[in-house]
Amino acid sequence: MVFYRKYRPQKIEELDSKEVRDKLHSVLGSSSVSHAFLFTGPKGLGKTSAARIVAKVLNCEKVRNEKGEMKNKDKTSHLSSLTSHFRAVEPCNKCEQCISITRGTNLDVLEIDGASNRGIDEIRDLREKVKLSPAGSRKKVYIIDEVHMLTAEAFNALLKTLEEPPSHVVFILCTTEPHKVPSTILSRCLHIQFRKATEAELVRSFERIIKAEKIKADKEALDLIASLSDGSFRDGSKLLEEIALLAGRKKIAKELIEEKYYVSSIKYHIRAMVKCLDAKDTKGGLELVSKLTEQGIDMKFFIEELIQTLHSLLLQKVGIKNDQELEVQILDFDINGIKRLVELFAKAHSELKYAVLPQIPLELVIVEWGIQKTQNTQQSGNSDNQTIRPASPKLPPRLGEAGQRGEQSDSPSIQKMVKAQKNEIPLNVAQQNMMGYSENNALWVSLIDRVKAYNHSIAGVLRGCRIKSYDGKSLIIEANFKFHKDKLGEIKTQQVLEEACKEITKKNVKVEVMMKPAVAKALAGDGR
């Protein structure tokens, strides 16, 4: 059996989060226990395990007996009663109730997957079964995992039962997305939040496992595994198991983990990439990505580490954090540059799962960042009409300057315009081998990009049209099809187009749509 299942916590004291342990001890040790719990937090933190432990405490025969004895017992001191109190809320894991809950065979503890049973019919069925008395336990416990997946109708059906359930019923709702749970449900539950595990808590969990498995490991190795676990006990246990299998009978050392996950080389490559970004060295950055690909380094992990480094630098720049090593490496970065890079890498991270080649999103960020340097250099110089090369095309002077002002003022519309120019215009120039690029073309690409934020279908229609003329006051769009002309001629669509033009040009621009002359003539000949 895998580690995270084999060593799933079975007692409150075995939960590795101190905050959760303290809360459960306090809640379950009181005279009255809540009828509904809500466990929230990221994946792999032990929410379902904690729910099963709560079910054990509520039904454990030993706990029930000890609590009964405590009622009749004369408490001689506060200290002795406190000790008995904490001992009483730990399940024995030996009685029939505890064993059946651990095995998942207890008829009175039902685990329901909210994703698979999310409809109103399932909840109505649950409401009917809730009325039945427990088969052999003191409490009937319903554990609903991923409860946020329930439909609005299902939540409404559950609401009344959750508010006033029978005395023998307890609900435990678990979710990774509490913001999707209606406030009416939240207000009726005792909320316990599971926060991401700290490295100390993760190491505590690992030590419990290696002690039981009789595995030898260096403290530094456990610390490194904890840093790779992303705050998840389950992910950390899986990593520990992989490393243990790799080590065999040998002691787990830090060097083995670094070799397995390329940790040392990734840190080196992160520093090298940051230097390339600081110098806007496109060639050097692309060569580095090629090396990463050859070594088989996970691009997703690399981008995550790169964003983490930029985040640390951002905090340093605003005076929250001071990392002397970073300060030496990337002295020239300003806050706007770091912000822009984080946005670009975050977008690249989200596009990884759709990429044909995993390195492409990262390479595109490096190229786009390098293009920005070329644009800034060309705008600050006095040279006229230099040849535009595909690798570093020159933007139209007016729109290029607007883009620079837009970045400084953080204007969303201007930033999108510059982004569209960087991403799409160089590609067209390279494909058509043009020696120049008109202002109208740049405006057209920016307009499509801006309109896309309002309505994807309008942006799709625009791609089938072109600019006939633009004089700063009036924009005439030429359509190839009557459907396109009719769609763009609608009042709401025209308002969208004129608003987008205003955001891009900072002017009131009247937008008109006309048919392409040859097409209009052909339609007229057909009697249309």
Could you tell me if 54 and 165 lie in one domain? yes
How confident is the model over 240-255, as a mean pLDDT?
86
Could you tell me if 257 and 269 lie in one domain? no
Q: Is residue 483 one of the residues assigned to a domain? A: yes
Q: Is residue 380 one of the residues assigned to a domain? A: no
Could you tell me if 440 and 305 lie in one domain? no
Tally Cβ neighbours within 10 Å of residue 14: 16
Q: Which of 137, 165, 193 is the last residue of a domain?
A: 193
Bridge partners (DSSP) listed for residue 439: none
Q: Which run of H or of E encompasses 91?
A: none
Positions of E strands within 330-459: none
What residues make up the domain containing 464? 393-525
Could you tell me if 292 and 165 lie in one domain? no
Could you tell me if 42 and 186 lie in one domain? yes
With a CB cutoff of 8 Å and minimum separation 6, the contacts of 476 are 467, 468, 469, 470, 512, 513, 514
Could you tell me if 57 and 82 lie in one domain? yes
Tell me what pLDDT residue 373 has: 59
359-368, 445-454, 507-516, range with the lowest pLDDT: 445-454
Q: Is residue 379 one of the residues assigned to a domain? A: no
Could you tell me if 250 and 272 lie in one domain? no
Q: Which of 193, 209, 226 is the last residue of a domain?
A: 193
* Pairwise CA distance, residues 58 & 332, whole Å: 60
259-263, 309-313, 351-355, range with the lowest pLDDT: 259-263
* Burial tier of 195 (Cβ tally within 10 Å: 0-12, 13-18, 19+): middle
CATH of the domain at 331: 1.20.272.10
Please provide the size of the chain in residues. 528
Could you tell me if 130 and 254 lie in one domain? no
Which tens digits make up the pLDDT trace of 455-510?
777 888 888 888 888 888 889 998 888 888 888 888 888 888 888 888 888 888 88
Which tens digits make up the pLDDT trace of 397-453?
433 444 444 444 444 444 544 444 444 444 333 333 333 335 677 788 888 888 887
Tell me what pLDDT residue 380 has: 54
Q: Which residue has the higher pLDDT, 49 or 76?
A: 49
CATH of the domain at 102: 3.40.50.300
Could you tell me if 38 and 97 lie in one domain? yes
* Amino acid at the residue 172: I
Q: Is residue 78 one of the residues assigned to a domain? A: yes
Q: Is residue 169 one of the residues assigned to a domain? A: yes
Could you tell me if 270 and 256 lie in one domain? no
pLDDT at 266 over 70: yes
Tally Cβ neighbours within 10 Å of residue 225: 25
Whole-prediction pTM value?
Answer: 0.57
Positions of E strands within 24-92: 36-40
Strand, coil or helix: what is 512?
Answer: strand
Q: What angle do CA 296, 302, 306 make, to 5 degrees?
A: 155
Decide if 347 contacts 362 (C-beta within 8 A). no
CATH of the domain at 247: 1.10.8.60
Q: Is residue 61 one of the residues assigned to a domain? A: yes
273-277, 320-324, 395-399, 441-445, range with the lowest pLDDT: 395-399
Q: How confident is the model at residue 52 (pLDDT cuts 50, 70, 90)?
A: very high
CATH of the domain at 430: 3.30.300.180
Decide if 91 contacts 29 (C-beta within 8 A). no
- Per-residue DSSP letter, 12: G
* Pairwise CA distance, residues 403 & 506, whole Å: 12
Number of domains the chain is built from: 4
Q: Is residue 24 one of the residues assigned to a domain? A: no
Q: Is residue 370 one of the residues assigned to a domain? A: no
Decide if 59 contacts 95 (C-beta within 8 A). no
Which tens digits make up the pLDDT trace of 136-153?
889 999 999 999 999 999
Could you tell me if 175 and 238 lie in one domain? no
Could you tell me if 419 and 456 lie in one domain? yes
Q: Which of 324, 344, 364 is the last residue of a domain?
A: 364
Q: For the chain, how far is it from start to end, CA to CA, in angstroms?
A: 74
pLDDT, mean over the chain: 78
Tell me what pLDDT residue 517 has: 79
